[in-house]
Amino acid sequence: MLGLLTACGSTSVDDYQGREPAFAPEDFFKGALTAHGVVKDFSGTAIRHFSADIEGCWSDGVGTLDEDFVFDNGEQQKRIWTLTPNGSQTYIGTAGDVVGEGLARWQGNAMFLDYTLRIELEDGPIDVKIDDRMYRVSDNVVINESKMRKFGFGVGEILLTIIRHPDQVADCPSA
């Protein structure tokens, strides 16, 4: 136990090599999905909750995740991710509110996605670094934790569950 408490360094996605169930993004993020989660502030207090409908479509190895969020106050957000292969078990991720490109890597039952998200506030936009970590815990469920940082300081966290609905058909364009 003491070794766990005093261990240095950060966790790498490679630490999950061989763990099951295997996280294959083209498999999990295909078709109809839903997500349910909370947004926490810097102190760990849950300040919002949300749900999302997601449609995952793939063509020639490139994935599109069309996400429609509804927050507890009625606010709606849309994000469309494009995941483009970039070598072995790596994707480049882009979206309209993502600054530049994100990098996604997966190994075993985990997928990590690092990117900078532009968040619109009343006083104007801010850019925050997101360390997104997803863990496949069953055929149809992924647990996701996202740490948000600004100037190296933790400013918030997002916890969510993503659920696949293999019995539902997504509205994907014809290939």
**Block residue for tokens 């850019």:** 127
| Nearest by Cα to 134 from 98, 97, 93, 169 | 93
User: What pTM did the predictor assign?
Assistant: 0.90
Domain 19-164 CATH superfamily: Calycin beta-barrel core domain (2.40.128.20)
Residue 79 per-residue DSSP state = E
pLDDT at 173: 75
Say if residues 13 and 23 touch (Cβ distance below 8 Å): no
Residue type for position 99:
V
What residue segments make up the domains of the chain, in order of their start?
19-164
pLDDT tens digits for 32-75?
999 999 999 999 999 999 999 999 999 999 999 999 999 999 99
| Nearest by Cα to 72 from 49, 100, 55 | 49
Residue type for position 93:
G
